[in-house]
Amino acid sequence: MENPSGPGAITRRRALTVAGGVVAGAALAQATFPAFAASAGSSDADAIVVGHGLAGLVATAELAAAGRKVLLLDQEPEASLGGQAFWSFGGLFFVDSDEQRLMGVKDSRELAWQDWLGTAGFDRGTDDPKGQDHWAYKWAEAYVDFASEEKRAWLAGLGMQWFPIVGWAERGGGLADGHGNSVPRFHVTWGTGPAVVEPFEKKVRAAVADKLVTFRFRHRVDELIVTGGAVTGVRGAVLEPSGAARGKPSSRTVVGEFELSAPVVIVTSGGIGANHDLVRRNWPARLGTPPKSMVTGVPAHVDGRMLAITEKAGGRIVNPDRMWHYTEGLKNYDPIWPGHGIRILPGPSSMWFDATGKRFSSPDIPGYDTLHTLKSITDSGHEYSWFVTTQKIIAKEFALSGSEQNPDLTEKNVWKLLSRIWQTPEPIERFKEKGEDFVVAKTLPELVAGMNKLTGDNLIDLAGLTRQIEARDREIDNPYTKDAQVMGIRNALAYPGDTLSRTAGIHKILDPSAGPLIAVRLNILTRKTLGGLQTDLSGRVLDASGTPISGLYAAGEVAGFGGGGVHGYRSLEGTFLGGCLFSGRTAGRAAAAATAT
């Protein structure tokens, strides 16, 4: 441990990077912005936080812990406190955790960093201070350090716990130094997304009781106030009171105006996933033609407005073409927000076909390479694809994203959780029965007829689909194969976590005892913004020249989860909530230091 090039050296570096560069950032901030303390007396607060999602709650909690007075603004009503994080599955990326070791997984900071670099593909000026990836790379290095050591202990100290079986998401493209997780790292929080939000909401509500934090719900920020080159406050519209339930669209009727001042403004307003026009406008050519029709994985208020507003105040947006959308979306039969889509989190066994019935090849295997598969779907000339699977597979392998789709984990109900051993989870069965994307049949001819009837285009040829499924099924007869997906199933079954909870025993798709047969139409589902406002390691928003804008910070998805794109081109999963936690904590601590008197 004392090797200067080994873990000891990493630990010393973490004194700066894992803490968000607070020591260096605070000194730099105080040296650069000496007017903060002097102007605080004439301000409405020490800091304004725009956005009450997870990153905003974390930043606010940090400011309040330092004794700062904070105004926490959001255009939504109180019911939506916690934002998109509340609806999440609660997955968190840890490295060499207790849970991994329990499962026999050997992980390390070095392996995680290898995977991150192979996945991110940073190629936009990492060594150039003005490069789009310069600060993203630094944030990525700091985040992997954080996930390797302090992150789990910090969150456990706040009362969080994790399901002991670690999930293996984004298994990658087939090369050790390429995209994907070499080992399972997806830790599901016991209580899912609400349990991730809860400790920070409690801290903020306690600070409200102590008169350090004031909520300003239904306050829509339309402008950042810039005075002498520094951001000194916000102005915007007060929206009419709303009784909209969490996640439901709320009114945009304006009943007043406001203007608030503070020496620090932290933007934590989230991404663009509900704004399909903005998604298409930023859609990169490398992902093919933007779909005309998509389902939506986030509530309507995730509209991306604050990106343009912050850019108008001088903030630099980088990597706007990097985004993360899922390929396994279902149309929700009981939607909460407009176009509400639910993602299937699949195990490795379902066969995947394009809209015409042509089987995808590696790495377009369930759970392997999300964006590569997205490109393969758009290249097919259609906007949907198909799983062909069995009841035996969906009973063991299908999970649905979202806290509301996992009542056993969300409610911390051990009995419901154990019931997954002998029955298909109830939410999966409800979607199979009520969801418009499912076709169930006893025979393959009946299945194909149902698939063609569902889409109305008769693109699936029975003979062609039969030939491909039978060819795959012949590969099951031996414990070795040339079929990459069958190799992947056997690889999954070598991991105890997958054997216990996420991979069905290997079998032939056309085995009647595994039936009935099931086809699932998969829609493209919008979700995350990977680019955003460029920030330094203190969370300060930079201008086009790379200079920090006085008084302006950003955290969470609006900042690309740190630096304007900590993930690069792709995500290792479990890193979105973690990016909100880390960047929110970093910006909150740095802003608190910058406003010290």
- Whether the Cβ atoms of residue 528 and residue 571 lie closer than 8 Å to each other: yes
Task: State the pLDDT at residue 399.
Answer: 95
- Whether the Cβ atoms of residue 477 and residue 508 lie closer than 8 Å to each other: no
Does 363 sit behind a cis peptide bond, omega within 30 degrees of 0 on the bond before it?
yes
Does 516 sit behind a cis peptide bond, omega within 30 degrees of 0 on the bond before it?
yes
DSSP annotation of 240: P
With bands split at pLDDT 50, 70 and 90, how would you rate the model's confidence at 17?
Answer: very low
With bands split at pLDDT 50, 70 and 90, how would you rate the model's confidence at 13?
Answer: very low
pLDDT tens-digit readout, 108-136: 999 999 999 999 999 999 999 999 999 99
Task: State the pLDDT at residue 30.
Answer: 37
Task: State the pLDDT at residue 102.
Answer: 97
- Structure tokens belonging to residue 205: 């509500």
pLDDT tens-digit readout, 546-561: 999 999 999 999 999 9
Task: State the pLDDT at residue 423.
Answer: 85
pLDDT tens-digit readout, 477-488: 999 999 999 999
Q: What is the mean pLDDT of residues 45-63?
A: 98
Instruction: Give the up-direction half-sphere exposure of residue 385: CA atoms within 13 A in the CB hemisphere.
Output: 28
Q: Is 385 helix (H, G, I), strand (E, B) or coil?
A: strand
**Residue 4 pLDDT more than 60?**
no
| Tally of CB atoms within 10 A around 398 | 26
pLDDT tens-digit readout, 267-289: 999 999 999 999 999 999 999 99
For the chain, give the percent of residues with pLDDT over 70.
Answer: 93
Dump the DSSP string for 253-297.
Answer: -EEEEEEEE-S-EEE----STT-HHHHHHH--GGG-SPPS--EES
Domain boundaries, the chain: 328-528
Residue identified by tokens 């630990």 is 11
Level-2 CATH architecture, domain 328-528: Alpha-Beta Complex (3.90)
| Tally of CB atoms within 10 A around 194 | 19
- Cα 135 to Cα 139, 296, 501: the distances in Å are 6, 30, 38
Q: What number of H helices and E strands is found in the chain?
A: 21, 21
Exposed/middle/buried for residue 574 (C-beta within 10 Å: 0-12, 13-18, 19+): buried
Residue 496: partners with Cβ closer than 8 Å, 6 or more residues away: 103, 104
Pick from 456, 528, 497, 483: which is nearest to 361 by CA? 483
Question: Looking at per-residue confidence, does 462 or 416 come out higher?
Answer: 462
Helix or strand holding residue 47 (H, E): strand 47-50
- Whether the Cβ atoms of residue 552 and residue 231 lie closer than 8 Å to each other: yes
Exposed/middle/buried for residue 238 (C-beta within 10 Å: 0-12, 13-18, 19+): middle
With bands split at pLDDT 50, 70 and 90, how would you rate the model's confidence at 570?
Answer: very high
**Residue 242 pLDDT more than 50?**
yes
As a whole number of angstroms, the distance between CA 196 and CA 208 comes to 20
Q: What is the mean pLDDT of residues 361-390?
A: 97
Question: Looking at per-residue confidence, does 174 or 297 come out higher?
Answer: 297
Task: State the pLDDT at residue 419.
Answer: 86
- Whether the Cβ atoms of residue 231 and residue 265 lie closer than 8 Å to each other: yes
- Whether the Cβ atoms of residue 5 and residue 562 lie closer than 8 Å to each other: no
Pick from 533, 493, 471: which is nearest to 311 by CA? 533
CA dihedral 64, 67, 68, 70 (to 10 degrees): 40
Task: State the pLDDT at residue 84.
Answer: 96
With bands split at pLDDT 50, 70 and 90, how would you rate the model's confidence at 420?
Answer: confident
Q: Is 448 helix (H, G, I), strand (E, B) or coil?
A: helix
Task: State the pLDDT at residue 418.
Answer: 86
Task: State the pLDDT at residue 174.
Answer: 87
With bands split at pLDDT 50, 70 and 90, how would you rate the model's confidence at 42?
Answer: confident
Pick from 270, 273, 305, 298: which is nearest to 557 by CA? 270
- φ/ψ of residue 479, rounded to 5: -80, 10
Triad 528, 375, 359: Cα angle to 5°: 125
pLDDT tens-digit readout, 170-228: 999 889 999 999 999 999 999 999 999 999 999 999 999 999 999 999 999 999 999 99
Task: State the pLDDT at residue 31.
Answer: 35
User: Across 383-474, where does the E strand assignment appear?
Assistant: 384-390, 399-400, 438-441
**Residue 15 pLDDT more than 70?**
no
With bands split at pLDDT 50, 70 and 90, how would you rate the model's confidence at 586?
Answer: very high
Q: What is the mean pLDDT of residues 309-325?
A: 98
pLDDT tens-digit readout, 522-545: 999 999 999 999 999 999 999 999
| Tally of CB atoms within 10 A around 436 | 12
pLDDT tens-digit readout, 320-352: 999 999 999 999 999 999 999 999 999 999 999
Task: State the pLDDT at residue 344.
Answer: 97
As a whole number of angstroms, the distance between CA 520 and CA 350 comes to 10
Q: What global pTM score does this model have? A: 0.92
- Structure tokens belonging to residue 168: 């293996």
Task: State the pLDDT at residue 117.
Answer: 98
**Across-strand partners of 186?**
93, 167
Helix or strand holding residue 31 (H, E): helix 22-32
**Residue 40 pLDDT more than 50?**
no
As a whole number of angstroms, the distance between CA 426 and CA 428 comes to 5
Average pLDDT in the chain: 93
pLDDT tens-digit readout, 492-506: 999 999 999 999 999
Task: State the pLDDT at residue 24.
Answer: 36
